[in-house]
């Protein structure tokens, strides 16, 4: 085995020399470094840059200091254990941290993910020593879209070992420029649910992550006028039937939930409230909300009888807080029962809040 090890080492050295695009700038500095006191040191090597900033969701934007060997550094925090998106801004150009393989899947910005685990009890999104479910990337044919769409499906632990068991299902939609991966890679719905299920704090369930921006499947310039609300049509007429054919879902409104973050929360509420024959659990996380759904709000008794849970969470420091609070007041004035959760310590319209709200609300799904 010694010779083999030498060969591996030689190979690794050789491969690191390969001509990957941009590979000539391979960095050898560690970043980010989480210190024992939960401060974080960011390092970025660039001998030629004139200015390097770090922009991190627990601290905002800060100028880094150039040290020896052209490495720019800064230590920020301490911060509460959580997962924080961040980027470097190098002479005005936003870049992911070259040293960090964990990133935020997004169509509008490029951020890396900082994971501060802390030294206390593992966080609810941590990978713990509990049974784990599986996260499936699927492609389903959508008649609405005329193409195979992307979706991701979480199945709970032991799903495959219980071929006769059926499960409730939660449709969970990401934010505006997010891809369908964000509730997995950033929101960690799988690990949160694995942990809650292991604690007996949440029901076993299937979670479906749709792609919220189906218009982006088409080349720029495609005429989509007259197509209407493609997301909703695809969700109801294509994705749901696919899920129900390919996964062991309980096909009953009392066992279906829908919700999401930001624009996804709007899509979740709108589709839930317009399809109360299909959904009875509704979750809005930091969403822009809407009162413009005919026939739902005016008959509170009927609507309340159809909704098992109407859950709304928002940060008081979220730029959408005013809208969300107005909507909550509107629901209360109309007599529509709802559960409200407010935070003030998770930096506004962020996925730190999204994970927190997920943890709180998953515990309440399918408990009636």
| Residues in 43-72 at the binding interface with its own copies, rule: CB under 8 A | 46, 48-49, 55-57, 61
176 binds its own copies (CB under 8 A): yes
Which of the ranges 87-95, 250-258, 306-314, 329-337 carries the binding residues for its own copies, by CB under 8 A? 87-95
Give all strands (DSSP E) within the chain, no chain letters: 33-34, 40-45, 52-56, 60-63, 65-66, 71-76, 82-90, 93-95, 103-104, 111-116, 134-142, 147-155, 169-173, 206-210, 256-261, 281-285, 309-315, 339-343
Report whether 110 contacts 87 (CB < 8 A).
Answer: yes
Smallest distance, its own copies to C-beta of residue 207, A: 13
Count of helices and strands (H, E) across the chain: 9, 18
Residues 271, 273, 277, 283, Cα dihedral to 10°: 80
- Chosen residue from 36, 108, 120, 226 binding its own copies by CB under 8 A: 108
8 binds its own copies (CB under 8 A): yes
Helices (H), the chain: 2-16, 182-185, 189-199, 230-234, 240-246, 263-274, 300-306, 321-334, 351-362
CB-based burial, 17-33: b 16+ in 10 Å, e otherwise: eeeeeeeeeeeeeebbe
What are the φ and ψ backbone dihedral angles of 66, each rounded to 5 degrees?
-80, 125
Which of the ranges 22-30, 72-80, 165-173, 328-336 carries the binding residues for its own copies, by CB under 8 A? 22-30
Which 179-208 residues touch its own copies, going by CB under 8 A? 179, 184, 190
> Regarding beta strands 206-210 and 147-155, do their DSSP bridges make them parallel or antiparallel, or are they unpaired?
antiparallel
- Chosen residue from 36, 69, 101, 119 binding its own copies by CB under 8 A: 101
Which 216-255 residues touch its own copies, going by CB under 8 A? 220, 228-229, 246-247
- Chosen residue from 79, 83, 87, 186 binding its own copies by CB under 8 A: 87
Smallest distance, its own copies to C-beta of residue 335, A: 22
134 binds its own copies (CB under 8 A): yes
Smallest distance, its own copies to C-beta of residue 64, A: 13
Which 254-293 residues touch its own copies, going by CB under 8 A? 262-263, 266-267, 270, 288, 290, 292-293
167 binds its own copies (CB under 8 A): no
Smallest distance, its own copies to C-beta of residue 332, A: 20
Report whether 57 contacts 350 (CB < 8 A).
Answer: yes
Smallest distance, its own copies to C-beta of residue 68, A: 18
User: How far is Cα 67 from Cα 342, in angstroms, rounded to an integer?
Assistant: 42
Q: Which is nearer to its own copies, 96 or 235 (CB)?
A: 96
User: How far is Cα 307 from Cα 304, in angstroms, rounded to an integer?
Assistant: 5
Q: Which is nearer to its own copies, 33 or 364 (CB)?
A: 33
317 binds its own copies (CB under 8 A): no
36 binds its own copies (CB under 8 A): no
40 binds its own copies (CB under 8 A): no
Give the SS3 label for residue 360.
Answer: helix
CA pseudo-torsion sign 196, 197, 203, 205: positive
Which of the ranges 10-18, 299-307, 309-317, 325-333 carries the binding residues for its own copies, by CB under 8 A? 10-18
Name which of 167, 152, 366, 173 is nearest 269 in CA terms: 173
Q: Which is nearer to its own copies, 185 or 203 (CB)?
A: 185
Q: Which is nearer to its own copies, 108 or 120 (CB)?
A: 108
Please tell me the count of residues contacting its own copies according to CB under 8 A: 91
Q: Which is nearer to its own copies, 197 or 308 (CB)?
A: 197
115 binds its own copies (CB under 8 A): no
């Amino acid at each position: 085995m010694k010779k083999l090890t030498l060969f591996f080492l030689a190979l690794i050295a050789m491969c690191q020399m390969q001509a990957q695009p941009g590979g000539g700038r391979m960095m050898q500095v560690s970043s980010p470094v989480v210190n024992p006191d939960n401060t974080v040191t960011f390092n970025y090597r660039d001998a030629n840059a004139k200015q390097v900033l770090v922009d991190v969701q627990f601290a905002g934007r800060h100028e880094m200091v150039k040290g020896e060997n052209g490495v720019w550094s800064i230590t920020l925090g301490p911060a509460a254990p959580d997962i924080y998106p961040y980027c470097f801004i190098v002479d005005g150009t936003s870049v992911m941290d070259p040293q960090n393989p964990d990133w935020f899947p997004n169509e509008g910005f490029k951020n890396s993910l900082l994971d501060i685990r802390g030294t206390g009890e593992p966080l609810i999104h941590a990978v713990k020593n509990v049974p784990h479910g599986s996260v499936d990337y699927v492609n389903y044919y959508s008649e609405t879209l005329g193409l195979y769409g992307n979706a991701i499906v979480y199945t709970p632990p032991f799903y495959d070992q219980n071929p006769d068991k059926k499960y409730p299902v939660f449709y969970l939609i990401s934010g505006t420029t997010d891809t369908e991966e964000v509730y997995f890679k950033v929101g960690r719905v799988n690990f949160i649910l694995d942990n809650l299920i292991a604690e007996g704090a949440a029901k076993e369930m299937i979670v479906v992550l749709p792609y919220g921006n189906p218009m982006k499947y088409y080349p720029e310039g495609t005429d989509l006028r007259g197509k209407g609300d493609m997301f909703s049509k695809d969700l109801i007429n294509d994705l749901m039937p696919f899920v129900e054919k390919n996964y062991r879902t309980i096909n009953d409104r009392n066992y279906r939930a829908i919700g999401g973050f930001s624009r996804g929360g709007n899509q979740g509420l709108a589709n839930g409230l317009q399809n109360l024959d299909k959904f009875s659990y509704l979750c809005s996380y930091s969403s822009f909300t809407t009162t413009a759904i005919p026939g739902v709000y005016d008959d509170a008794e009927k609507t309340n009888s159809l909704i098992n849970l109407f859950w709304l969470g928002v940060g008081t420091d979220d730029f959408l807080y005013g809208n969300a609070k107005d909507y909550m007041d509107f629901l209360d004035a109309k007599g529509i029962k709802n559960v409200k959760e407010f935070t003030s310590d998770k930096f506004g319209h962020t996925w730190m809040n999204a994970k927190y709200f997920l943890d709180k609300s998953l515990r309440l799904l399918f408990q009636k």
